[in-house]
Structure 1
Amino acid sequence: MEYTRLGRTGLLVSRICLGTMNFGWQIGETESHAILDRAYEKGVNFVDTATMYGRETGDGLSERFIGRWFDKAGHRDRIVLATKVYAPMTERPNDGGLSARHIIAACEASLRRLRTDWIDLYQMHHVQRDIPWEEIWQATETLVVQGKVRYVGSSNFAGWHLARAQAAAERRNFLGLVSEQCKYNLLTRHVELEVLPAAIELGIGILPYSPLHFGALSGALRQLDLPLAALRTELSAGTLARLEELFPPVGNGGPGPEAWAW
């Protein structure tokens, strides 16, 4: 397994992160634990989930599966654990979004479901434009000071959202975002325009989700071994050029504004 630093931090994570969106939705607990076992055996130390994964009515089933795996396997101290906050967990008005109240309450609930004392990477699952960054950072700083969260990340942010978030964090002398999880594959390349350039400039790591476009780019729906093999595969210049022809980038390619202007 290859390891790399998470953004500009000193934290080392496996280059393959095990996403668990299908835990509870498509596969049961036994198979979910088998996948976690297989990933751990192969050196994957990075596991990503979310409050909404596997749930029907706010039960956080994916997190519960992972928590019971920690109880059974005993690997919590060797895993970099990431989860997300944003999705409404009930129909009550304050049980969703990025208010300080929900961020802290959702973290406490995730800790209980995951059966752990801390979350390594706590990610905002989506941007919420009508909540000030001062409120969001105040809540996450509280969790960091309490030792319940180590790092903070985002997901599905635009490039200018990353810039606004970091500017607000810097005013508070806070580390701010260390990662952005975005949809990125040969069929979905919009993040190349502004998200990737902003992340590079700000030292924010990129966690691409759906790299095989939900299996469409793999030729078939397969298990964990396929992405692991990708780490050992180096594509030739000719193959890369052919992929660019088959799956052209947005506009002229590269970051904006050059992608659409001179």
Structure 2
Amino acid sequence: MEYTFLGRSGLRVSRLALGTMNFGYVSDEAESFKIMDAAVDAGINLFDSADVYGGPQKPDMVQGYGISEEIIGKWLRKQGSRGKIVLATKVYQPMGTGINDKYLSAYHIRKACEDSLRRLQTDHIDLYQMHHIDRNTPWEEIWQAMEVLVQQGKISYIGSCNFAGWHIAMAQAAAGSRHFMGLVSEQSIYNLSKRTIELEVIPACEKLGLGIMPWSPFAGGLLSGVLKKGIHTKRAAETREMVEKFRPQLEAYEKLCDEIGQEPTQVALAWLLHNPTITAPILGPRTIEQLTTNVLSLDIRLSEETLKELNTIWPGPGGAAPEAYAW
């Protein structure tokens, strides 16, 4: 396993992160335990979750409130592996029917953090991430709430998810005015077929020292060899529609992967990892076999010719803004 710093922080994390969104939804508790065991054995130390992850498991809930975190907590208690992992989770999404059971008010941040700690059966969260931007809560309130949690030793670092470039800039300006470190990472959707963050999010992260953790590195299965292997997702109809939309690119992509003798998933990850701004793509394996295949991507070094072909098949927005569209 390779390791790198999480943004400008001194925290070292694995170049691949274990995403746990499928825990309790696609993967039951026993399978989730096996996946986490295999991840640690492979050297993965960055585990990413969210308070809302887990899927609809209980009849009185419309979402899987806390189930993924509960599974991780049980595993940590059983394995005693807390010191081996960097534990990340998120706050923002609705966690109940109450008017304040969501978003980023100081009220909800405090309660959500306490609830996550209880479900995770730990006394601290290493990376506490804002799952989305909250346009109605001022940064003074958000950062004050986060500062208190840091002072209490309940969280160590703070990250963002799904922020625009200017959101990141505003957040860091507000944090700097308080002499607070602010954000160290950003999670964004980023893969060969979705490259919009190259316009402003990646340049903002590079300038301000945030590591990037791409989610959906395989574009919901599109980049996993879908033409050859078929569609095996819970969103089969949606995936089938996307396959038809991108069929010419997919045919060229899978042909290129065959020519260089690599699995499509491994090429998709290797393409992300060749970018020094990328800290760790977030994997969402449903099985140990998928995890094992994904880890092999660390050994792949794509040639300049292959990178050029990938950019031809999956063109980006043309670089950073404003040059990408202004001239």
Verify same fold: TM over 0.5: yes
Instruction: Name the SS of the counterpart of 1:260 in structure 2.
Output: helix
CA distance in 2 between counterparts of 1:108 and 1:159 reads 30
Identify the range of structure 1 (219-228 vs 232-241) with the bigger mean alpha-carbon deviation. Answer: 219-228
Report what 1:7 is aligned to.
Answer: 7
Report what 2:322 is aligned to.
Answer: 257
Report what 1:39 is aligned to.
Answer: 39
CA distance in 1 between counterparts of 2:311 and 2:55 reads 38
Per-residue CA deviation, residues 45-104 of structure 1 (Å, 9 max, x unaligned), is 000000110043363100000000001111101110000000001111000000000001
Report what 1:189 is aligned to.
Answer: 195
How far the C-alpha of 1:27 sits from its partner, in A, is 1.2
Report what 1:226 is aligned to.
Answer: 293
Instruction: Name the SS of the counterpart of 1:154 in structure 2.
Output: strand
Matched, 1:239 2:306: yes
Q: How much is the aligned-residue C-alpha RMSD, in angstroms? A: 1.0
Matched, 1:71 2:77: yes
CA distance in 2 between counterparts of 1:249 and 1:226 reads 26
Of all paired residues, the percent bearing the same amino acid is 58
How far the C-alpha of 1:113 sits from its partner, in A, is 0.3
Question: In the alignment, is the contact (CA less than 8 A) between 2:87 and 2:125 conserved in 1?
Answer: yes
How far the C-alpha of 1:120 sits from its partner, in A, is 0.1
Instruction: Name the SS of the counterpart of 2:88 in structure 1.
Output: strand
Question: In the alignment, is the contact (CA less than 8 A) between 2:53 and 2:65 conserved in 1?
Answer: no
Report what 2:169 is aligned to.
Answer: 163
Matched, 1:83 2:58: no
Structure showing greater radius of gyration is 2
State the one-letter code of the partner of 1:231.
L
How far the C-alpha of 1:215 sits from its partner, in A, is 2.4
How far the C-alpha of 1:203 sits from its partner, in A, is 0.4
How far the C-alpha of 1:212 sits from its partner, in A, is 1.1
Instruction: Name the SS of the counterpart of 1:50 in structure 2.
Output: coil
State the one-letter code of the partner of 2:85.
I
Unaligned runs of 5+ in 1: none
Q: How does 1:1-150 map to 2 (within 5 A)?
A: 1-56=1-56, 57=61, 59-150=65-156
Per-residue CA deviation, residues 124-162 of structure 1 (Å, 9 max, x unaligned), is 000011110000000000000000000000000000000
Per-residue CA deviation, residues 172-218 of structure 1 (Å, 9 max, x unaligned), is 00000000000000011000000000000000110111111122212
TM-score, length-scaled by structure 2: 0.78
State the one-letter code of the partner of 1:117.
D
Relative contact order: is structure 1 or structure 2 higher (C-alpha 8 Å, sep ≥ 6)? 2
Per residue, is there more helix in 1 or in 2?
2
Unaligned runs of 5+ in 2: 233-288
State the one-letter code of the partner of 1:230.
S
CA distance in 2 between counterparts of 1:59 and 1:207 reads 23
TM-score, length-scaled by structure 1: 0.97
Instruction: Name the SS of the counterpart of 1:122 in structure 2.
Output: strand
CA distance in 2 between counterparts of 1:173 and 1:163 reads 15
State the one-letter code of the partner of 1:248.
P
State the one-letter code of the partner of 2:84.
R
Question: In the alignment, is the contact (CA less than 8 A) between 2:124 and 2:153 conserved in 1?
Answer: yes
Instruction: Name the SS of the counterpart of 1:214 in structure 2.
Output: helix
Identify the range of structure 1 (177-186 vs 216-225) with the bigger mean alpha-carbon deviation. Answer: 216-225
